Amino acid sequence: MLSPRIALACALALGAVPSALAQDTQRFRTDKVEVIVETVARDLQNPWGLAFLPDNRLLVTERPGRLRIVDPEGNLSAPIGGLPRIAARGQGGLLDVALDPRFAQNRLVYLSFAEDRGEGRAGTSVARGRLSDNGTALEALQVIFRQEPAYTGPNHWGSRLVFDRDGNLFVTTGDRFDLRNQAQNPANHIGKIIHIKPDGSAAPGNPFLNREDARPEIWSLGHRNLQSAALNPATGELWTVEHGARGGDEVNIPQKGKNYGWPIISYGVDYSGAKIGEGTRKAGLEQPVYYWDPSIAPSGMAFYTGDKFPAWRGSILVGALAGKLVSRLETNGNRVTGEERMLQQLGERIRDVRQGPDGFVYLLTDSRNGRILRMKPAT
């Protein structure tokens, strides 16, 4: 049996410290740079979403229904009060968090969550409230969007929050595991990208504003379960990544009014192995920019624009749950030109990926003992 010192040396030679020996810092090789991954905070239960406050503290959600502030030393605040009624079951609970673009003036925080609608039903909702001056509560909380209809099932809620350059909000939803083509139906919010003003009303320019048979909040349709979304900093366009079934995870650039095919077309198959829909292509339905087969179960994404990893500028960093990795996608315009899979030796389900104001990359690990991690260059 190897001594701990020899085992550690062997692990370092292979490019990572195994989790049994790891403390707060691990070192990994990637194609372009050697990185250090350090623990910023721990003891979070299934953390889901992350946002950076102007004073360098972090807001983090925990899926069971807690919102906390994390200071630069990694200390967790007590749970913030004033949250809405949250249905914490299955894949649902408290999900994403985003700051209003004018947070410095209005202190508004937006949350997406599985909302308990009564009688065993729940749906993806978005609420906003003012973070109190002492940071202990959300004040004057309002639910500004409710996905309709609500379901009894526990899966496929979406749901990322992204502000566009005009200050309107994109909300990604899931298909709620409903294969009856509801993602194709513009009369509901199932399997759609939603585009709303900060008060929850439909954003100007939405494609279905003047249709009586469609929801005016819809931006695009035909989606399965979107758990990654970010604005391309070069163009201002929304990019998303959504879960397929067995295979068929997709990168898309959702355009207003367009149909992305689920469940009529897919590059995956059903969990039973059965064919889904009509194949991989059909006229009038959009093709993905990139897809994974087999699935990596993507969640959380960020365009890297910082100065700490210059070789990564322009790349998209995507977390993976089942894949337990970070996928770095190289891009050229609206094309994905290559992929590097990183941090597989970490052995963690990666729920969210964010670039911090300091230019480092922050990750959330999805477990009952979840952590906030920071990825830095090794030199």
Catalytic residue positions, numbered: 156
Around 275, how many Cα atoms within 13 Å sit in the side-chain half-sphere? 6
Alpha-carbon gap, residue 320 to 298, rounded angstroms: 4
Task: Write the single-letter amino acid at 70.
Answer: V
Nearest alpha-carbon partner for 124 in 133, 137, 136, 115: 115
Alpha-carbon gap, residue 229 to 318, rounded angstroms: 10
Structural contact between residues 369 and 42, judged by C-beta atoms closer than 8 angstroms: yes
Task: Write the single-letter amino acid at 144.
Answer: I
Phi, psi of 269 (to 5 degrees): -125, 165
The tokens for 67 are 């919102």
Look up residue 184 and give its DSSP letter: G
The tokens for 189 are 């919010």
Alpha-carbon gap, residue 319 to 354, rounded angstroms: 10
Calculate the alpha carbon distances from 191 to 156, 188, 225, 250 in Å.
9, 9, 7, 14
